[in-house]
């Protein structure tokens, strides 16, 4: 079960901005299909898998993946986060051009992925749950603190990961703090992509051919 709190920790309101700021920089200089996020979901030359992002949040990872040409279904269970994201997507779509093309590849659903995933079929399920705060709290970005204040901890993340592993998909890609072990009760991942602060654990579904 989740622990919820409605108090925000910063005076600056949390918004979803696909138009400017750091996300725009990441779009232009983030490394394209060579970045670990893209490799984690199996994006490579000529291959653009369909993806379910089971933990949409601010939609940043989904936006980057959609910018590369994948179609993404984003699932977010927090009404507040869902509405922030819907607002950001609407504004970006109104910009036209490349931005609206990216947003057109993103479909946002309000709901709990633990309930929705068993009814779906896709190439890849991507999961980036709320992680425990790092010991040096100054390192925790303001935005992440604000999200935590809205959604609390994802205390059912093990259940979400297990649900994804049992779903009808070719691979599950899990974003996780680089140095933290996975919770007990999960199978070994097929391979890992290690970054400075986060890693991606990839679980291939042995019952389906991987493209």
Ligand X SMILES: C[S@@+](CC[C@H](N)C(=O)[O-])C[C@H]1O[C@@H](n2cnc3c(N)ncnc32)[C@H](O)[C@@H]1O
Contact residues: ligand X, CB under 6 A: 54-55, 57-61, 75-78, 81, 112-114, 128-130, 147, 151, 154, 160
Name which of 58 and 92 has its Cβ closer to ligand X: 58
DSSP codes, 105-133: TEEEEES-HHHHGGG-B-SEEEE-PPPPP
- Tokens representing 158 are 């093990």
Whole-number minimum distance, CB 102 to ligand X, in Å?
14
Whole-number minimum distance, CB 65 to ligand X, in Å?
10
Give ∠ CA 177-27-202 in degrees, rounded to 5.
35
DSSP 59: S
Whole-number minimum distance, CB 57 to ligand X, in Å?
3
- Tokens representing 19 are 């138009």
Name which of 154 and 201 has its Cβ closer to ligand X: 154
Q: Which residue is nearest to ligand X (CB)?
A: 57
* Three-state secondary-structure class, residue 63: helix
Name which of 40 and 58 has its Cβ closer to ligand X: 58
Query: How far apart, in whole angstroms, are the C-alpha atoms of residue 169 and residue 196?
Result: 28
Whole-number minimum distance, CB 134 to ligand X, in Å?
13
């Amino acid at each position: 079960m989740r622990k919820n709190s409605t108090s925000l920790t910063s005076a600056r309101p949390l918004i979803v901005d696909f138009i400017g700021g750091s996300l725009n920089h990441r779009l232009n200089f983030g490394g394209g299909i060579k970045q670990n996020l893209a490799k984690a979901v199996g994006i490579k030359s000529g291959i653009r898998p369909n993806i379910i992002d089971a933990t949409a949040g601010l939609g940043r990872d989904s936006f980057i993946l959609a910018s590369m040409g994948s179609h993404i279904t984003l699932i977010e269970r927090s009404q507040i986060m869902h509405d922030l994201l819907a607002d950001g997507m609407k504004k970006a779509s109104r910009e036209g051009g490349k931005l609206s093309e990216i947003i057109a590849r993103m479909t946002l659903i309000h709901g709990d992925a633990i309930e929705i995933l068993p009814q779906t079929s896709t190439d890849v399920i991507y999961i980036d749950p709320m992680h425990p705060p790092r010991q040096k709290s100054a390192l925790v970005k303001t935005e992440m603190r604000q999200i935590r204040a809205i959604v609390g901890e994802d205390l059912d993340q093990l259940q979400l990961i297990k649900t994804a592993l049992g779903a009808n998909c070719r691979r599950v890609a899990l974003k996780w703090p680089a140095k933290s072990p996975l919770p007990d009760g999960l199978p070994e991942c097929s391979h890992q992509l290690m970054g400075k602060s986060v890693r991606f654990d990839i679980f291939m579904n042995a019952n389906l051919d991987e493209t």
